[in-house]
Amino acid sequence: MKKQTVFCAILLALFSSLSATGTMAGAIEVFHADSLAGPLKAMKKAFEEKNKDVTINLTPGTSKQLAERILKGDTVDVFASSSPAVVDQDLMNKKITGTDRDAASWYVIFSSNEMVVITAKGNPLGIRQIADLAKPDVKFLRITAEKDLATGRTVDFLKKAAALEGNPDVAQKIIDASAGDPSKATSVPETVRAVKEGIAGAGVVYYSAAVAAKNDVEIIRFPASVNLSEAIRNAALVPGTAANTKEAKDFVRFLVTPEAQAILKDSGQPPLIPAIWKGEAPSDVKG
């Protein structure tokens, strides 16, 4: 009877521990920007193959909305944002609601991205430049979600690219005529899906999102001077709400290894070499 009592007590303690953290040991809860879906899916596979006792759970969304969830106390082991500015403004040295813990005290900038135009496979509309998006037969879908950084980036990209082509006025024409339901915000994944399914003839998305759908869409890239590649950076960190900090640190450290950098390159997210560390990153993360 004593053995049964001890065994039950151990089970109860284990269950209580899991309930308190909201996650199991060996599981890494990763919040990430939509634009990082392709690279992180590949990294999840590579990391789990090296760490058989670890499971990575990926939750996509817009960087600002995910940051808000962390501030409210959601259990997150790793946060990968499509903008260091979101980390700086919304998380760095900010207290998690109802606690004295910092939401973030360090982060690493590990890759970049760019804005591209996508159209149906084979490019049946013959889109070669921004001005082509203004053609009457092109149904252009624009990202419009209020807290999605891609909304403003799309507008900036269109204006810069149109100006480079010597036709700056066409950008506003394209923006004003963009398809979509004004009452329903459009995201990066929805734009990709609309082009794949023929609902829209073209859209502007992140290069990584386009690469993830490369079997179903054509990708039109633009010069670095206008594609915002200098401004778009991806940052990762272990938030103050992390439950499994050891595994989380291991995963962030993996993001800057040659293996992960090769994955990033193949996924349309050119790695930053060397990575840029901000704040006081723990020594067991930087290696």
Structure confidence by residue, pLDDT tens digits, 35-83:
899 999 999 999 999 999 999 999 999 999 999 999 999 999 999 999 9
pLDDT at residue 8 in the model: 46
Taking 80 as the threshold, does the pLDDT of residue 15 lie above it? no
CA-to-CA dists, residue 211 to 151, 195, 254, angstroms: 19, 14, 22
**N residues, the chain:** 287
* Global pTM value: 0.80
pLDDT at residue 5 in the model: 52
Number of other CB atoms surrounding residue 27 within 10 Å: 17
Question: Which residues lie below 8 Å from residue 36, measured CB to CB, with a gap of 6+?
Answer: 60, 80, 82, 208, 234, 269
70 and 23 in one domain? yes
Q: Is residue 226 part of a domain?
A: no
What average pLDDT does this structure show over 277-287?
A: 91
Q: Is residue 33 part of a domain?
A: yes
Nearest to 60 by CA among 45, 74, 40: 40
What's the whole-number average pLDDT of the chain? 91
Name the token pair of 85: 């500015």
Task: Name the pLDDT band for 26 (thresholds 50, 70, 90).
Answer: confident
> pLDDT: is 17 or 275 the higher one?
275
Name the token pair of 67: 């940051």
* Segment 190-219, tens digit of pLDDT: 999 999 999 999 999 999 999 999 999 999
pLDDT at residue 9 in the model: 47
What average pLDDT does this structure show over 171-198?
A: 88
* Segment 97-150, tens digit of pLDDT: 999 999 999 999 999 999 999 999 999 999 999 999 999 999 999 999 888 899
Q: Is residue 210 part of a domain?
A: yes
239 and 99 in one domain? yes
Number of other CB atoms surrounding residue 128 within 10 Å: 10
97 and 80 in one domain? yes
Cβ atoms 24, 52 nearer than 8 A: no
Taking 90 as the threshold, does the pLDDT of residue 24 lie above it? no
188 and 268 in one domain? no
Q: Is residue 246 part of a domain?
A: yes
150 and 136 in one domain? yes
pLDDT at residue 123 in the model: 97
20 and 56 in one domain? yes
Domain with residue 201: its CATH number is 3.40.190.10
Q: Is residue 261 part of a domain?
A: yes
pLDDT at residue 145 in the model: 86
DSSP three-state, residue 69: helix
Question: Which residues lie below 8 Å from residue 3, measured CB to CB, with a gap of 6+?
Answer: none
What range defines the domain where residue 142 resides?
Answer: 115-220
Q: Decide which of 199, 220, 241 is a domain's last residue.
A: 220
How many folded domains does the chain comprise?
A: 2
* Segment 220-269, tens digit of pLDDT: 999 999 999 989 999 999 999 999 999 999 999 999 999 999 999 999 99
CA pair distance 278, 287, nearest whole angstrom: 15
What average pLDDT does this structure show over 8-12?
A: 46
Q: Is residue 225 part of a domain?
A: no
pLDDT at residue 185 in the model: 83
Name the token pair of 230: 């200098």
Strands 233-237 and 106-112, sheet pairing:
antiparallel
DSSP state of 277: E
Taking 60 as the threshold, does the pLDDT of residue 10 lie above it? no
* Listed range (11-15, 17-21, 233-237, 250-254) with the worst mean pLDDT: 17-21
102 and 24 in one domain? yes
214 and 239 in one domain? no
pLDDT at residue 17 in the model: 43
